[in-house]
Each structure stands twice: as C-alpha cells, then as structure tokens.
Chain A
Amino acid sequence: MEYIEKTIKKGIKVHSLKTNKFKTNLIAIFLTSELSRKTVTSNALISAVLRRGSKNMPTQEEISKELEELYGATFDCGIDKTGDNQVLKFYIESINDKFLPQKDENMLKTSIEKILDIVFNPLIKDEAFDKEYVAQEKENIKHRIEGKIDNKARYALDRCIEEMYKDKPFGLYKFGYVEDLENINEKNLYQQYKDLINECKIDIFISGDIDDNIESIILENEKVKELKEREPKYNKESEQEREKHGEITEKMDVNQGKLVIGLDVNTQSEDEKYYTLVYNNILGGSANSKIFQNVREKANLAYVASSNYFRYKNNIFINCGIEISNYQKAVDLIKIQLEDMKKGNFTDEEIENAKKSIVAIIRTIDDEQDTGITYYFGQELSNNKTSIENYIKKIEGVKRENILDVANKIDINTIYFLRD
C-alpha cells in the first residue's frame, strides 16, 4: 500500500491509497466543519438533500439506475461527530475494471465523476434547492432524529454523552434537532450549503488499484475547479469538559437495564493517548479485560460488558446490559475495577496482551478499504500524523508506569442508567 496526500488548493486535499488487494475501488469525500447548534441540523439535512439528485442526475431513481449500470456501485452517505467537528461523509464503491465480465467501461473514472457530481453539483433552481426534496427530507430527518430511541443501548450512550457535554458542541446530536427544522427552507439551506462548501475542510480519498493520472480526473472536474481556496474552519483541538454530573436515571419501556459510565481521562499529551488505549484495553477492551472478566464471567451480571476509548474527546465509556435490580451491584463492581487499575493491580501479562490486541488491529488497517481511509482521515484531523509503523512502535513502547499514571488521572464523570 502506498499513501500519498496532496493539497490541490488551500484547505482541499486529495489522498490516494494505492493498493491491488481489493476487487473494488473506494472513493470518499469528507466535508469537515465545526459542530455548532446553529448548523448541525441544516448540515445533516444538506447531506440528505444532496443524495436526492444532482444537476446531471436530477432524481434518486436516476442516480440508482446509473449506479446499477455500474455493476451495483454503492453510494452511501453518513454524518459523524469527530471531536468537536461534524463530518459529512460520502462514499462510492465500484468494482475494479479487471473483474468486469466485459471490458468496456472505465469504472473508476465514471465513479469519481458521479460522486463529484452529487456532492459539488447539486440540483439548483433560482438560488435554491428543490423545494419538494427539502420538504421531504425535513420530514425524513425528523423521523431519523426521533428514531434515536429505537436502539436502546445506543440511546443510553448518546444520552450519557449529551448529559456530560450539556450545552457544549460534543453534546449535540449529529442529526440535529426537530425544533430547528422549522426555520429551514430550500433557500436558506442552499445558502448554508454554499457557506459550508466554501469554508469547510475538504478531503477526497481514493483507494484501489489506481494509476498516477487519477488526480487529473479530479483536477479537471469543472466543479472542483470552481472550489475556492480556504482557511478551513474546523476544530483541531477538542475542548475538554470536566464538570461532573453524578448519577442520572431515566425510564423507558425496556426489558434490560442499560448502564453507561462516562469517564474523564485527564491527560494532556499526545503520547498519553497511546497509554490510554492500552489502559482501556486492560479495563474493558477485550474478553480478558477486568470488566468482562468480573462483571460477566465471575458475577454473571451481563452479556455485554465493555469499555471504549473516544480518543478525540479523551473519554472512556463503559457499557453493560444488566438486570435492573443489579444496578448497584454492577456499579460497585466497576468502581472496584477502576480502583484496582489505580493501585496497579494489573499484571505484565495483561499489559502485553493488551498491546498485542491493539497491534493486531492496527496491522490489518490496510486489509480493509474503508478502515484504511478512516485511519488516514483520523490522522489528517489530529495534530501530529503517525504512520502505521510508528503507531505500532508507540503502542509497543507503553510501560507499566505510563498506564498506572493514566489510571490515576481518570475519574467518573457521569453514571447513566436506562431502566423501566
């Protein structure tokens, strides 16, 4: 795998990941901007409206038919919160020419043109998006926002984050707010689109069996030519919120209680993030971890019992699905694990195992096309870029005292419980 990044204009980068491991080529466009209550809903809506139709493919039906003709190229879009940024993500994946039954098309070139058309060449009339599309997508996104209760475990995590980051960017829901939809129309949404396209950070990724002139397909695209240079507005640093929120219990019609514990990791440096990764793996990141072993295997309180490290925000979230009556038992047991970590009650073997697990995941980054793109995009957003080799070295270099030090900089911010 060969990774090359190139700034084509200030604030706009093309990243090529040259590899012949895959049957497919994957192209991604990421639009990164600051998360704010003012724009979160309209940005989410923009991504929904764009996929309804472009200037050259004005209906969803046409887009779908074109993609089907391209041997089922898949177009996908999503919205992510990465630290204090909102990222609109667009993907197109199509099979490599080598695996076509007839050698007649240049799939990669056509795919690139399609995705550029959808993102940068929308269907516009009189300085506005299509009125009907906007009205329909407003309705859709409303359902999407209300749909957050449908997955209870995910909902519990979202609610815990919302409470921890009350009135802060990271506490915002990535699809926005129903009450903010009211004031959005096809005109002001198009204005917001133009602002976004002019100001956001733009990253275009191409992964696959590509040749050197691939860049020219992008550079020669009329819409790309029109893009202006910019000082991209996005958050390189992520604000840390350390106000404690105690215990919160909410009721819903659930069969199983969903426990989420949000932890603050009070570290400062980049290197400490590697220590925290190892710490988290020992705490709740694997089947060998303290939480899995003690909450599930020994006390048999849960089926799901794990923890995740959100490196951009420097938080760890612990998740368990438990019998409602076992709430206190589970919380106490988890607190004991946190104390044990602070006291250094973990073995050298546990450290080595954790490192091995993390390194194994890092090593396979290049074996999955989307994971590769996600990794390099993550590096792009963080302040100091690290190669995969260097990443592995950093993990392997983590020492007991580093983990112990991190353990003592961690405390509970919020304990959230969803019950009936």
Chain B
Amino acid sequence: MQIIENLKVNEKLFLEKLENGMAVMIIPKKDMKKKYMIWGTNYGSNDNIFVVPGEEKETEVPNGVAHFLEHKMFEQENGTNSLDTLTSLGVDANAYTTNNHTAYLFECTDNFYEAMDELMDYVQNPYFTDENVEKEKGIIGQEIKMYDDYPDWRVYMNAMQAMYHNNPVKIDIAGSIESISKIDKEILYKCYNTFYNPSNMAMVICGDFEPEKLLEEIKKRLKKTKSEGTIKRISPDEPENIVKGKIEQKLDVSQPMYTVGIKVKPINNSVQEMIKRDISIQILLEILVGKSSELYKELYTQGIIYGGIGASYEFTKDYSHILISGQSSNPEEVYAKIKDRINLLKNNEINEKDVSRIKKKVYGEYVREYNDVTDISRMFLSDYFKGINSFEYLEEIVNINVEYLKQVLNDVFKEDKMVISIVKS
C-alpha cells in the first residue's frame, strides 16, 4: 500500500488502488473505539445522461434515480433488509446521495467485520422488484415534501435555479414526485450496472486498524468484476452567464431568508489550482463577511442581520459557485452591501494582517477535521472523487499570498454573475 504521511496533523493515509480500479483508503486512528466505514460510487443526482460502456446510444434517466437507487439498495432477495440487519448488529448504518456521489456507511464499536460482510454484500447485490420499487415512491414522496417545508433548503435550491440554465445541479437531489413516478426496476438496474462498477468506486475506513490486514479482508469480500470501460457522462452545455438576478418564494417564515449566489467558471485542468482557489475563496469570504469583518459589524449593529452570515464555496469539474446566506429583515440591503464590499476590496489593497490572521483561522479549521473518524472518512471520500488528497489543504495554505488572493477576487467575485434568492412570508 502507498503510505502518505502528514506531519502537521500526525496522521497517515494508506492508499491502495486495486486491480479492478477501486481505491481503498485507510486512516488508522489508535485509541478510538469508534470505527467508520464508507463505500461510495462516483455517481450522484447530476449523472442523468450518459453512455453505458460498450453501448453507443446515450441513456437519459428521470431525475432522482441515484437517490432512489440508494434507498433500494438495502432490499435483499431473501426478503431481509440490510439496514435492519446492520441495526441488529448494533451498528449505526446509513446512506446518502449528493449531486456527485452516493455513499453507504456504518459506524460501530463492535461487530465491525460482521457489519462489513453485510455492507459489502448488499452494495454488490441489488434486488429490485416492481413491488419494492413501487412502495418506495410513497416514502421518498414524504422525504421530498419534508424538504419542501425547509425554508433554508428552498432558498438554496432557488439560488441554483437562478444561476444555472442547464446543469442538473439546479435540480433537487431526490427529484420530484412526478419524476420519481417514472422510475422502474429496469432503470435502476441499468444505472446500477453502469455506475456501481468497482472502477467507479472508492472506500474509506477510519479507526483502530492494521491497514494491511484490513485490506486483505476487504479483498476477500469483493466479487470478481472486470474493470469496465470509461462511462461517458454528458453534462449539458452551461453558459457562463446567470439565468436571472433575483428569485423569490413565499413561505411561512419569521423573517426573510436569503442566499446570494456567485456563479464561478469551474477549473478542470489542475487539482492544485482547485485547492488553492478553494482556500483563497474561504479566506476572501472571511475577510468580506466573516465574524471579524467590517460588513458583519455594520449589519449586525444596525439590526439588519441577527445570527451569522454563512458562506461557502462548492465546486466540481462541471460547476462551481459561492453561496452566502442568512436571515435578514432586509435581504436587498444585505445584497447591495455585499456588492459594495467586494468592489471596495477590489479597489484597495488587501490587508496583510487580516490575511495572516484569517489564514491561521482556516488552518485551525483544517486541523480540527481530524478529530472524528466520521469527518475524516467523509472528507477523504468526497475529496477523492474530485481527484484531491485531503492532506493537500494543510500544505497548500502557506502558498496563498495577497497577490494570489487579489487575482482570485477579480476572477471569481463578478457582479454580473451574482444572484439573490429570497424566501419570505
């Protein structure tokens, strides 16, 4: 196994790329009783149009298939449900779907290998019937309706709608009640067979383990599968411009909620640049709207915002955007002031002292990620699917200087790429 050590956090990553193309990452954590295992496929709600390896024609599937598949993977041919089986072992099992990947996981203290038997068995053996697919529609329908009642989710999805013309990131991960009604077992099998090939998957385990021994145990449980050809994913062309500058929805909320979105042209040629941009945007967002910023102080003391301003950067090779959100009596004013602050920063020097202080903060945040086996595993998995080794963040941060920040500020924070989404009563 390849061993990658990071002395800053004093952790080691044991990495093995198996013959079938699957990556196995093990991060040993001595003294932790908690063990975490996560197995993911590089397949999420965005992968709706693709060419199955060996076929020529494109396949297009209804919205929400990846998430639907995640729900149905637990069903077994012998009538049992793997979630029940895992729960019976006293382990805490779950699964989730994002825009880009689907993951199956459990955490436990005891019965690790028994749980691993079950997890690896059910992920490799789907069992879909007309009946079990039909019954799930009721459950997922309630999941979709639950999200419809979350104003913070609605304000986020609407911001996506305002930014993206075609990219499926603008569509709800679970799809809609209408789109999932079209899902049947044939569609599920087709997607499963395409995307659940080991060459498209990765596994992370974190806990008190001997990596080499654990790797052998994993190999024993893997079915013999040939690495398939590359899956051609068809991402619709996405113009650089936004759809509309403003979007509003009415919902019963105590005070308006807002999300400001900034659409950013994705980087898809250099992993190092992706990381550097990510770190830089985090630093810039802290300077612009963070707890110690002028803007935060101004809005807070004037009673325009209460609580914090959330700010994040999301990116893949296909899309990237910044999101700034919170609750305010006057979202339009918050929006105007954010724009002013961006311009002010563009027209002035970025303060070196601020940067070095914020860099310390961001560094501390990265270190903190290594406290918990769950956080570590999820971080390594999701970064892996972006082609990133999570340790790199700890190393790249020193390479960010004021000039670089200025360049990112000018490249990324463009006024004509900004939208605001508001939910209010």
> Measuring CB to CB, which residues of chain A are less than 8 angstroms from any residue of chain B?
20-24, 59-61, 64-65, 67-73, 93-95, 98-99, 101, 132, 136, 139-140, 143-144, 146-153, 252-256, 286-288, 293, 296-297, 300-304, 321-323, 349, 353, 356-357, 359-361, 363-364, 366-369
Contact = CB atoms under 8 A, between A and B. Distances in A.
Contacts of A361: 92
A364 B34 contact: yes
A218 to B, nearest CB: 23
B138 interface: yes
Contact of A360 (B81, B110, B151, B303): B110
B34 A71 contact: no
Interface of B: 8-10, 31-34, 81, 83-84, 87-93, 107-110, 135-136, 138-140, 142-143, 145-146, 148-152, 251-255, 257, 290-292, 297, 300-301, 303, 306-307, 327, 357-358, 360-365, 367-368, 370-373
A68 B303 contact: no
B135 A60 contact: no
Contacts of B253: 149-150
B87 A300 contact: no
Contact of B364 (A73, A140, A252, A255): A73
A256 B251 contact: no
Nearest to B29: A21
Nearest to A21: B31
16 contacts: A64-B291, A68-B360, A143-B254, A149-B253, A252-B252, A256-B146, A286-B87, A287-B87, A287-B93, A288-B84, A300-B135, A353-B88, A356-B90, A360-B91, A367-B372, A369-B371
Given A150-B151, A353-B88, A360-B92, 11 more contacts: A68-B361, A71-B361, A71-B364, A71-B367, A72-B365, A146-B255, A296-B139, A300-B135, A303-B140, A349-B88, A357-B92
B327 A147 contact: yes
A124 B70 CA distance: 56
A66 to B, nearest CB: 9
Contacts, number: 173
A304 B143 CA distance: 8
Contacts of A151: 150
Tell me which of A59, A94, A288, A361 has the highest count of chain B C-beta atoms within 10 A of its own C-beta.
A288
A303 B31 CA distance: 36
B151 to A, nearest CB: 6
B148 A256 contact: yes
Contacts of B367: 23-24, 71, 95, 99
B87 A146 contact: no
Nearest to B84: A288
A357 B84 CA distance: 12
A95 B369 CA distance: 11
A186 to B, nearest CB: 16
A360 B138 contact: no
B138 A359 contact: no
A23 B146 contact: no
Nearest to A141: B306
Contacts of B84: 287-288, 293
B371 A302 contact: no
Contact of A146 (B251, B254, B300): B254
B145 to A, nearest CB: 4
Contacts of B327: 143, 147
A140 B254 CA distance: 12
A359 B8 contact: no
Given A140-B306, A256-B142, A301-B142, A353 B364 contact: no
Contact of B142 (A71, A303, A359): A303
A179 B78 CA distance: 60
Nearest to A359: B90
Contacts of A72: 360-365, 368
A321 B364 contact: no
A22 B89 CA distance: 28
A94 B327 CA distance: 28
Contact of B138 (A300, A368, A369): A300
Contacts of A101: 8, 363
B357 A69 contact: yes
A360 B88 contact: no
A139 B299 CA distance: 13
B292 A68 contact: yes
A304 B292 CA distance: 39
A300 to B, nearest CB: 3
A139 B306 contact: yes
A69 B360 contact: yes
A326 to B, nearest CB: 9
A366 B31 CA distance: 10
Nearest to A19: B31
